Amino acid sequence: MKLWNIARLGLVLMLYAAAACVGLSFVYTGTLSTIEERSRADLEASLKELFPSADDFDDITGTITSPDSGISFSSAFAAREGGGLAGVILEASGGSYGGPVTVLVGAGVGGVISRIKVMEHSDTPGLGANAASPSYYVDKAAGITFYGQFSGRALTDPLEPKNDLIAITAATITSRAVARVVRASGAAAAEWLAANGGKTDG
């Protein structure tokens, strides 16, 4: 009798588990398209931040190679304005203090960085996390954020914290990590733009 009760209990638990799995799969399937649409919308909004005047973004992922083995490009887009090429945007990642840091880097046809945006990081709140903070200023008097100081820089600039960039206070590793990602992206973007009709001698 005891064996039967144990077997029955096991069967009931198995049925509950199977029902839960089926239910979860329906929920996942039902929300997957919504999640993907939201991700696309978020990405498009971020691309627009880097090139506000662009009216279209062509996916050119896989056509640009990183010159730095420690930096990877997960996606790439050509920004178009009025039918012409305005620049290129790379979604690039590299190692930082708390793990990978992912940055969107916009490079204009004039050979300068339009803007960058730190998308993901795991660095220390109040220190390395300031790389993405719009309220942390490396130059408060001028209202310049850490990521803001990259705008307008030449794609070929050294971009070295404590040299031609202001580092985040007590977060030199994060500062160097972001700069390395941007530097590799700039070099790769300059090469792609030169090969695709973009002037890069800015």
DSSP string, 37-101: HHHHHHHHHHHHHH-TT--EEEE-TTS---SSTT-EEEEEEEEEETTEEEEEEEEEEEE-SSSEE
Contact between residue 161 and residue 183 where contact means Cβ atoms under 8 Å apart: no
Q: Give the pLDDT of residue 114.
A: 96
Interatomic CA distance for residues 178 and 183, integer angstroms? 9
Euclidean distance between the first and the last CA atom of the chain, given in angstroms as a whole number: 85
Interatomic CA distance for residues 186 and 62, integer angstroms? 16
Q: Give the pLDDT of residue 10.
A: 65
Q: Give the pLDDT of residue 201.
A: 46
Q: Report residues of the chain scoring pLDDT below 50.
A: 200-202
Give tens-digit pLDDT for 122-172.
Answer: 998 989 999 999 999 999 999 999 999 999 999 999 999 999 999 999 999
One-letter amino acid of 1: M
DSSP state at residue 112: B
Nearest in space to 116 (alpha carbons), one of 125, 127, 107: 107
Q: Give the pLDDT of residue 202.
A: 43
For 18, the token pair is 């199977």
Q: Give the pLDDT of residue 43.
A: 84
Interatomic CA distance for residues 175 and 168, integer angstroms? 6
Phi, psi values for residue 102, rounded to 5°: -115, 130
Domain edges within the chain: 1-50, 54-195
